[in-house]
Structure 1
Amino acid sequence: MKIRVLVVVLSVSIFSCTLDGGLPDMPNMPNPVPVESDEDPPVIPQSYQILSLGDSYTIGQSVCETCRFPVQLKDSLVATFPVVDSFSVDVIAQTGWTTTSLLNAIADENPTNTYDLVTLLIGVNNQFQGRPFSLYEDEFPALVTKAINFAQGDANNVIVVSIPDYAFTPFGQAFGNPTVTSQEIDQYNNFAESYCVANAITFVNITDITREGLVNTALVAEDNLHPSEVAYSLFVERLLPFATTKLQ
């Protein structure tokens, strides 16, 4: 019985001391550590629109629809980007179109200004049909300006592709003077490249690929004039890094 009383007294004494001296210090508790999840954050699907402007080299004369370079470029982007992303490509191009023809077609079709990427390849028919070079000097810049407008007004979303050299095909060897043809193609490409450099527009040279057409016949389509599916795939190898960077 005495022991019980003593315990009570001691308990009361300890409690009284605690009250008199204030609350006892609480031990420092560590801040909670955030728990990291092994799961990646959800990927938000993106939708990209591509517009390709040009002539027979863009429409893919003498190759299948999925073989032409705008579609091959789209398919390569699909394989590069997350699977949830989607791509579409519109083509305004026809065999035989000059810069004037393309300007007229654009006026008729009136594309939107919502494209994420626009490619432009034009001029071979100006040369082939013997149009004055001054016409290209006037109309090529106008087409670039329209391409920029279609690309949401951003010049960084535009890629200009050089003109292939058809002199290095069986048809080109039999038509006119192949040496003169190549010199004139160079004149067109040099003007286009200089304009693009001066205006901070991406210019991709693929002409050298087509100049292998006589030694590598696989680069020429069955019509002995236009690039083959293989040639277009080599175009896309050069275009893809620029397109990927611009869309990312």
Structure 2
Amino acid sequence: MKSILSGLILLVMSQAFSQKPLRYLALGDSYTIGEKVPESESWPFQLTAYLRAEGYDIQNPEIIAVTGWRTDELQDSIASQDYKPNSFDLVSLLIGVNNQYQKKPFRTFKTEFEDLVQTAIALSAHDQKGVFVVGIPDYSLSEFAQDKSLKNVSSRLKRYNRYIQKISQRYGVAYYPLQQLSRPLHRDKVMLAEDLLHPSGEQYKAWVESFKENVAEQLKQF
């Protein structure tokens, strides 16, 4: 009996030590890389820090994102990486604000965004359980938007976010909205980076606070 018990303990220990750290891929644009803030203050890195504090062994996020990217540019970059399916445990997607800002056809966004969700699911080793989508924040109240006299930003972003939520639900992917949360934050300079458009680390912290526990719950399903 003692030898059997010892064997079981060794088996459990070997399995625990053989488990690899979780891999996280963050897909997006300026909001994902944290334009104008230190890397550690971007929301993917803040989320990762929280998950580690909760006891999850997770690597630093691998980020595919560039300021100004639209959905098509993100698609092209992912394709160039030649990732194998199931390469990551966790995959996040936040994209679309530049489609709106650059006034690209909404129908094109719809097709490309759905393709990106499918790609994210394919890249996760846990299918849709390992993916989450973050809605587009509302920059309409930022000083930048006010100075540029940008009109109808909020209503246009609502259209994008409604579709983002629809596709997320269609594919059974977690969706974390930001539009209502971010609107008042963009009035406060403390919540903005030096360009008075992009979020500061403090705003990213508020974003993470809104969905970090949900993401942790997702990881429990792995």
**Normalized against structure 1, the TM-score is what?**
0.78
Q: State the match for 2:98 in structure 1.
A: 125
Higher relative contact order (CA 8 A, sep 6+): 2
Equivalent pair of 1:209/1:231 in contact (CA under 8 Å): no
Match of 1:65 in 2: 39
Shift in Å at residue 241 of structure 1?
1.4
Greater displacement, 214-223 / 61-70:
214-223
Q: Which whole-Å CA distance do the structure 2 matches of 1:239 and 1:116 have between them?
A: 18
* 1:128-161 alpha-carbon deviations (Å, 9 max, x no partner): 0010101111100000000001112611111000
1:144 aligns with 2:109: no
**Does the residue aligned with 1:166 lie in a helix, a strand or coil?**
coil
SS in 1 for 2:69: coil
Change (3 A) 1:196 1:214: closer
2:25 aligned counterpart, secondary structure: strand
Shift of 1:239: 2.5
Give the letter for the 2:156 counterpart: E
**CA-CA distance at 1:181 after TM superposition:** 0.7
CA distance in 2, matches of 1:94, 1:64: 15
3-state secondary structure, aligned to 1:138: helix
Structure 1 gap segments, 5+ residues each: 1-40
Deviations 1:20-72 (A, max 9, x none): xxxxxxxxxxxxxxxxxxxxx86925411100000000011011011101111
Contact 1:54 1:93 in 2 (8 A): yes
Kept in 2, the 8 Å contact 1:117–1:243? The answer is no
Q: Equivalences for 1:1-248 in 2 at 5 Å?
A: 44-45=16-17, 46=19, 47-81=21-55, 85-112=57-84, 113-152=86-125, 154-178=127-151, 180-248=152-220
C-alpha distance in structure 2 between counterparts of 1:238 and 1:183, whole Å:
22
- 2:59 counterpart SS class: strand
Asked which structure has the greater CA Rg, the reply is 1
TM-score by length of structure 2 reads 0.87
Alpha-carbon offset, residue 196 of structure 1? 1.1
| Alpha-carbon shift at residue 111 of structure 1 (Å) | 2.7
Q: Which moved more, 1:209-218 or 1:223-232?
A: 209-218
- Conserved in 1, the CA contact under 8 Å of 2:142 and 2:187? no
Please give the alpha-carbon distance, in whole angstroms, between the structure 2 residues aligned to 1:86 and 1:137.
Answer: 32
1:220 positional shift: 1.1
> Quick one: which amino acid aligns to residue 133 of structure 1?
F
SS class of match (1:88): coil
CA distance in 1, matches of 2:181, 2:143: 16
Instruction: Kindly tell me the number of residue pairs found equivalent between the two proteins.
Output: 207
- The residue matched to 1:53 in structure 2 has which SS? strand
Residues 81 and 108 of structure 1, relative CA distance in 2, 3 Å threshold: same
- Structure with the larger helix share: 2
Q: 2: CA distance between counterparts of 1:86 and 1:211?
A: 31
CA-based RMSD of the aligned residues comes to 2.0
Shift in Å, 1:214: 4.6
AA at the equivalent of 2:98 = N
C-alpha separation between the residues in 1 aligned to 2:217 and 2:153? 34
